[in-house]
Amino acid sequence: MANQVTPAILDERAVRRGFLTSWRVEWADNKMAYWLLLPSTLAFAVFLLFPIANMFVSAFSQVDTIGRITQVGTLDNFEALVNDQRMPMIVRQTVIFAFGTVWLTVLISLPLALILNRPFRGQTIAKTLILIPWAMPFAVSAITWRWIFHGQLGSLNYLLGQLGLIKEYIVWLGDPVLGFAAAMFVEVWSSIPFMTITYLAGLQAIPPQIYDAAKMDGASNWREFWDMTLPQMRPVILIVTLLSIIWAFRSFAVIWILTGGGPLYRTDIAVTYLFKLAFTNLNFGAGFALAVCIFIVLTIFSLLYTWLLGTREDA
């Protein structure tokens, strides 16, 4: 018969009615909560989702010198990045800056956390002092260090000269190698407090009973660290390291204020080069394409961070 309804259709209608019924019940029970969530949801859509969607659309479009889309559906922007002779250098400098600064920060922060975890006179003052670089805004820190590294007026050249280590002033930020090293140093200096305090919190969460048992077995301090502290701290180290890599990849203020990416793009990383592409060279299309690439890389690291964080919570 033409009007015969099959069991599959009946099941589908039942599922649909069940969903609508459950949604009405949910809305009736939590109506106020949904109304309160509405402003933040709209703000999330306007200030986050819309810019991301616009970035992806513009990356695959032709964009004029004032950022307007003139034609949709092209890979010219990504081809321009591939053909950009500076991109290999920018990628290399970004990787060195991100992973190098994080590696150095770990090497310094973990021993500092181990020291602060042991009782000594002035421990509270030491913990307070180590937070000062983290409490200062990155822009203020970068401006301060820019004056310290100044070739003529900087206190670093003056100090080295007074100590007899240099005979003439060094133009720290004007040299590609020294300028890049200075930017990495400032990034490490400003990142140490967060990583140290986080490691300290991880150390204080380790049960002290395991160390008592180790001392009874005659374990040395090195064996305690290698066989007990480090395995207990491994999840914290992985999570904090991954989070620091994400921050280092998008570190703009330090490099831009210290060197502006110069000389000759030798201290640029991806985010500062993106700014130059879009707002100095007015090549918004290539800037959008580079922004998409950075977004994808940071999304991968963010997913890894979320996965590691969830794994640690489940454990």
What domains are there in the chain, each with its CATH number?
A: 78-314 (1.10.3720.10)
Query: Mind listing the pLDDT tens digit for each residue in 258-281?
Result: 999 988 899 999 999 999 999 998
- Chain centroid to CA 233: how far? 21
Model confidence band, residue 183 (pLDDT cutoffs 50, 70, 90): very high
- Chain centroid to CA 148: how far? 26
Residues of 5-19 as b/e, b for ≥16 C-beta within 10 angstroms? eeeeeeeeeeeeeee
- Helix (H) / strand (E) containing 252: none
Q: Say what the pLDDT of residue 2 is.
A: 47
Query: Mind listing the pLDDT tens digit for each residue in 225-256?
Result: 787 888 888 888 888 888 898 889 888 999 99
Query: Mind listing the pLDDT tens digit for each residue in 44-60?
Result: 888 888 888 989 999 99
Backbone angles phi, psi at 93, to 5 degrees: -65, -35
Residues of 195-233 as b/e, b for ≥16 C-beta within 10 angstroms? bbbbbbebbeebeeeeeeebeeeebeeeeeeeebbeeeb
Q: Say what the pLDDT of residue 71 is.
A: 86
Model confidence band, residue 29 (pLDDT cutoffs 50, 70, 90): confident
Sign of CA dihedral 252, 43, 301, 293: negative
For the chain, report the end-to-end CA distance as a whole number of angstroms.
Answer: 59
Contact 102, 248 (CB under 8 A): yes
| C-alpha dist (Å) from residue 175 to 34, 147, 153, 265 | 57, 16, 16, 11
State how far the Cα of 71 lies from the Cα of 52, in Å rounded to an integer.
18
Range 158-186 average pLDDT? 92
State how far the Cα of 269 lies from the Cα of 90, in Å rounded to an integer.
5
Average pLDDT, the chain: 85
Q: Say what the pLDDT of residue 206 is.
A: 83
Name residues whose C-beta falls within 8 Å of residue 276's C-beta, 6 or more positions apart in sequence.
261, 265, 268
pLDDT at 180 > cutoff 90: yes
Model confidence band, residue 309 (pLDDT cutoffs 50, 70, 90): confident
Model confidence band, residue 16 (pLDDT cutoffs 50, 70, 90): low
Model confidence band, residue 10 (pLDDT cutoffs 50, 70, 90): very low
Q: Is pTM beyond 0.85 here?
A: no
CA atoms within 13 A on the CB side of 171: 6
State how far the Cα of 211 lies from the Cα of 224, in Å rounded to an integer.
7
